[in-house]
Amino acid sequence: MINGRKIILAGTNNYMGMTFDPDAISAAKEALDKFGTGTTGSRILNGTYQGHKALERELEDFYGMDHAMVFSTGYQANLGMISTLAGRGDYVIIDADSHASIYDACAMGNADILRFRHNSVEDLEKRLKRLPENAAKLVVLEGVYSMLGDRAPLAELIAVSKAAGAQVLVDEAHSMGFCGETGRGVAQELGVEDQVDFIVGTFSKSVGTVGGFCLSNHPKFDVLRFACRPYMFTASLPPSVVASAISSIRSLKNAHNKRAHLWANVERLHSGLKDLGFKLGTKSVESPIVAVCFDSQEELFGMCQLLLAEGVYVNVARPPATPMGIYLLRCSLGAGHSVEQVDQILAAFKAAQEKFSASETLRDAAGD
């Protein structure tokens, strides 16, 4: 509801529709009654309850990996992992379109930072080749990039990274839940999980709550619990959040129907918007994010307001969240949207487009 009007939310990270999952809600309520509203402590002091450990075991099971660490947000997971793994004299190599948390992690750590052109295997390889052979290197990638909704060519990027002796961290924030056979992300879908050294993710999207995590098969992974400052120096997640995350992750594994419904929704939106003549972030569907690209901020904000008047909310994305000169209405759908709602979203875009063109014509006629 916005100002008393019912609006369709077409800009959500609730990709798997888990925020109102009955099992996740009852697990959270039970934990709230049993353990209270918060832990009032960090993971390394009094803030590790049985639930936090159970959640780490659940993640290890979900990803089939040896070690998991749960953070209080996904932002902190990136901040902590990247700034702690690479130290002075090491190199961190990131994609130019990396999420803010990855950039902030680089600013926080002591390693030398290099950027390669977005999704360019050739540029990554070139930059890696210039680095000293025996220096430690960490390449940071994302399964799906959050603004344009495009996927990384992970297999190729990982191959050149490994050839240069680098370790690889993949952030699957926008791919967990619906990419890959059991929803582990793009690395699972492409069959390259065994070459990924660290998987980072969040509970704030497909899992439907809040929190972050990292997984690895590195035998000494647990040492990070005593070195990683964004893990150590902040309060741990409330037990109710932990309980709902456990419940959601358990059900995501077998959520094949939801995955199929989500992808059908996205296909419908993407092809409908393309038919209406909008310029989209990706040629075909790559993720539940459908970015509609505009040439100016005026058009971006004009369309956003017109869409709201038509009963649809979408997120506005512009620099610094997007690369320079890119103005987006970032639509994203979830498994909770009905087919009828997707059609309503399309109808709203059509009406907004017509009204915007009419207002432009009027402005031109008035000589503005």
Is there binding between residue 213 and ligand PMP (CB under 6 A)?
A: no
Whether the Cβ atoms of residue 245 and residue 207 lie closer than 8 Å to each other: yes
Is there binding between residue 245 and ligand PMP (CB under 6 A)?
A: no
> Hey, which residues between 105 and 164 contact ligand PMP (CB under 6 A)?
142, 146
Coil, strand, or helix at residue 2?
strand
Distance in angstroms (rounded) separating the CA atoms of residues 106 and 332: 28
Q: State which residue has the least CB distance to ligand PMP.
A: 74
Minimum Å gap between C-beta 202 and ligand PMP is 3
Is there binding between residue 80 and ligand PMP (CB under 6 A)?
A: no
Between strands 167-171 and 137-142, the pairing is parallel
Is there binding between residue 197 and ligand PMP (CB under 6 A)?
A: no
User: What are 71's strand-pairing partners?
Assistant: 212
Is there binding between residue 212 and ligand PMP (CB under 6 A)?
A: yes
> Hey, which residues between 83 and 112 contact ligand PMP (CB under 6 A)?
99, 101
Is there binding between residue 204 and ligand PMP (CB under 6 A)?
A: yes
12: CB partners within 8 A, 6+ apart: 332, 333, 334
Minimum Å gap between C-beta 146 and ligand PMP is 4
Report which residue type is found at 306.
L
Q: How many binding residues for ligand PMP (CB under 6 A)? A: 14
Q: Which of 12, 14, 39, 78 binds ligand PMP (CB under 6 A)?
A: 78
Is there binding between residue 63 and ligand PMP (CB under 6 A)?
A: no
Distance in angstroms (rounded) separating the CA atoms of residues 368 and 345: 31
Measured from the CB atom, the residue of 47 and 80 that comes closer to ligand PMP is 80
Measured from the CB atom, the residue of 186 and 348 that comes closer to ligand PMP is 186
Whether the Cβ atoms of residue 328 and residue 148 lie closer than 8 Å to each other: yes
Whether the Cβ atoms of residue 323 and residue 96 lie closer than 8 Å to each other: yes
Is there binding between residue 202 and ligand PMP (CB under 6 A)?
A: yes
Measured from the CB atom, the residue of 86 and 237 that comes closer to ligand PMP is 237
Is there binding between residue 75 and ligand PMP (CB under 6 A)?
A: yes
The closest of 250, 269, 200 to 228, measured between CA atoms, is 200
Distance in angstroms (rounded) separating the CA atoms of residues 153 and 161: 12
The closest of 271, 272, 277, 312 to 293, measured between CA atoms, is 277
Whether the Cβ atoms of residue 70 and residue 59 lie closer than 8 Å to each other: yes
Is there binding between residue 74 and ligand PMP (CB under 6 A)?
A: yes
What residue ranges bind ligand PMP (CB under 6 A)? 73-75, 78, 99, 101, 142, 146, 171, 173-174, 202, 204, 212
